[in-house]
Amino acid sequence: MKYAFSTLGLPGTPLGRSAALAAAHGFDGLELRAHPEEPLHPDSPAAERAAGRRTLTAAGVAVLAVAGYAAVAAAGPDEPVLAELRALVRLAADLEAPYVRVFPGGRDLPAAAADANAVRRLRAAAPFAERHAVRILLETHDSHRTGVAAARVLDRVAHPGAGALWDVLHTWLGGETPQRSRQALAAHLGYVQVKDVASAQELTPLGLGAGVLPLAEAVAEAVTAAPVDGWLCWEYEKRWYPEAAELPGQLATGREYLAQLVAGRGPEETVQGGRAGSTR
- Which CATH number goes with the domain that contains 190? 3.20.20.150
d(CA 4, CA 183): 23
- Do the domain assignments include residue 144? yes
Q: What share of the chain is helix, strand, coil (3-state, %, to 5)?
A: 45, 15, 40
Indicate if the pLDDT at residue 272 is higher than 80. no
- Do the domain assignments include residue 173? yes
**3-state SS assignment for residue 276:** coil
| Residue 252, strand partner residues | none
Least confident of 169-178, 248-257, 270-279: 270-279
Burial annotation 207-237 (CB, 10 A radius, 16+ → b, else e): bbbbbebbbbbbbbbbbebbeeebbbbbbbb
- Do the domain assignments include residue 279? no
Say if residues 76 and 111 touch (Cβ distance below 8 Å): no
Indicate if the pLDDT at residue 270 is higher than 60. no
Indicate if the pLDDT at residue 124 is higher than 50. yes
What's the whole-number mean pLDDT along residues 205-230? 91
pTM: 0.94
Q: What is the pLDDT of residue 273?
A: 34
DSSP 143: T
Least confident of 53-67, 94-108, 265-279: 265-279
Number of folded domains that form the chain: 1
What confidence tier does 228 reach under pLDDT thresholds 50, 70, 90?
low
What confidence tier does 279 reach under pLDDT thresholds 50, 70, 90?
very low
* Arithmetic mean of pLDDT over the chain: 94
196-209 pLDDT, tens digit per residue, is 999 999 999 999 99
Length of the chain: 280
Q: What is the pLDDT of residue 265?
A: 66
Supply the range of the domain harboring residue 95.
2-274
21-34 pLDDT, tens digit per residue, is 999 999 999 999 99
54-88 pLDDT, tens digit per residue, is 999 999 999 999 999 999 999 999 999 999 999 99
- Do the domain assignments include residue 280? no
Q: What is the pLDDT of residue 226?
A: 73
- Return phi, psi of residue 32, to 5°: -90, 120
What's the whole-number mean pLDDT along residues 93-111? 98
Say if residues 42 and 34 touch (Cβ distance below 8 Å): yes
Residue (of 264, 273, 269, 253) closest to 196 by Cα position = 253
Say if residues 193 and 168 touch (Cβ distance below 8 Å): yes
Residue (of 158, 148, 4) closest to 66 by Cα position = 4
Q: What is the pLDDT of residue 267?
A: 52
